[in-house]
Amino acid sequence: MLVYQVVFILSPVWIIMAQNQPDGPEEKDRTSTALKDLLSRIDLEELMKKDEPPLKFPKTLEEFEYYFNEKGQLRHTKTGEPYVFNYHEDMQRWNQKRYEALGEEGYGVIVLNTNENYIEVEEPQKPEQSSANDTDEPVEKKEKKDDSQKETKKQRNIYEKYRNPQKEKETKHIPIRDNSTPEEHAFYVWDHFISRSSAKNVVFVAHSYGGLVFLELMIQREAEVKSKVISVALTDSVHNVWHQEAGKSVLDWMQEHCRNWVSSSEPLDTPVEFMLPDCPRVSAGTERHELTSWKSFNSIFKYFSQALEAQNTETKPKSTVITRSYNRKKSEEL
């Protein structure tokens, strides 16, 4: 429709100019220049704004009346239908702005790579030093000795390559500043990014040694973590609350806000007994350690959704219910 409006506006002008156009080349050039000038004055952006609703959109996914189902698909809360881009026909600009607003769901993701704590660089080869008596040896004997040394070195390199195929060259490890251990890396990311973010509700997913790293972060930054983190999902975590000396306040918080999906032959989400007084443990639905995160993915996000709903319920202001006894009491006080 917008395209037809533009054509409709230009057509009468083009007809009039064509009727009055002389045959001379100079006049044709002037006419062409005038037409280009006319086109340059037309603000297509303003034309697209005509009759479109205000660019005011909801701030959350719930206000958009959309949610993600168990398969991770975006669906309408009332109709169950997928997202409709052309909400208003012939309003491409407005539909695009609405789509962009929906894409801003209030979520951010940070992936911590706690295993990358150093860079590996190749060691420069040291020059071979010849013995002092080499100069006095006959040429033939020296050449034979060099060949023997080269063969010995070759055999040693073959053996080293067979024994350790990953180490074909001599290398050295240079620690990454402030990130030389998994724990240091977690502290650095928390101090420089997560704690400074505007996010109000933070959730963690920590696999294997990542659970130990999170517990250490919890111990060292307890007050800060409690103020921002609302839920933690561990997958086959190897943390140990006794060895890491977690205090009672940390243990109480973990009991309420953490859950550990462990490798087990039991069906997914089946409670698993454990002696230590840390977070509850449930089955990840697999006995393979490396698959625990993937197998428990849907359960983890259900767990997060419940924690977020509980958090929103707690933060809502409580309304005062006015009753007859309340009015009578106020009257007596007066």
The residue among 179, 182, 188, 225 whose CA lies nearest residue 204 is 225
Give the residue numbers annotated as catalytic, written as ranges.
Answer: 208
The residue among 197, 270, 281 whose CA lies nearest residue 232 is 281
Q: Is residue 284 within 8 Å of 264, Cβ to Cβ?
A: yes
* C-alpha 323, offset from chain centre: 49
Give helix then strand counts, H and E, for the chain.
12, 9
Q: 205 exposed, middle or buried (CB, 10 Å; 0-12, 13-18, 19+)?
A: buried
The residue among 277, 225, 280 whose CA lies nearest residue 251 is 277
Rounded to whole angstroms, the Cα distance separating 182 from 213 reads 7
For β-strands 202-207 and 229-235, DSSP reports them as parallel
- Give me 192's structure tokens: 């420089």
Give how far Cα 184 sits from Cα of 29, 30, 228, 234, 315, Å.
Answer: 71, 72, 20, 19, 33
Rounded to whole angstroms, the Cα distance separating 305 from 299 reads 10
Rounded to whole angstroms, the Cα distance separating 220 from 214 reads 10
Handedness of CA 144, 146, 151, 152 (dihedral sign): positive
Q: Which amino acid is at 97?
A: K
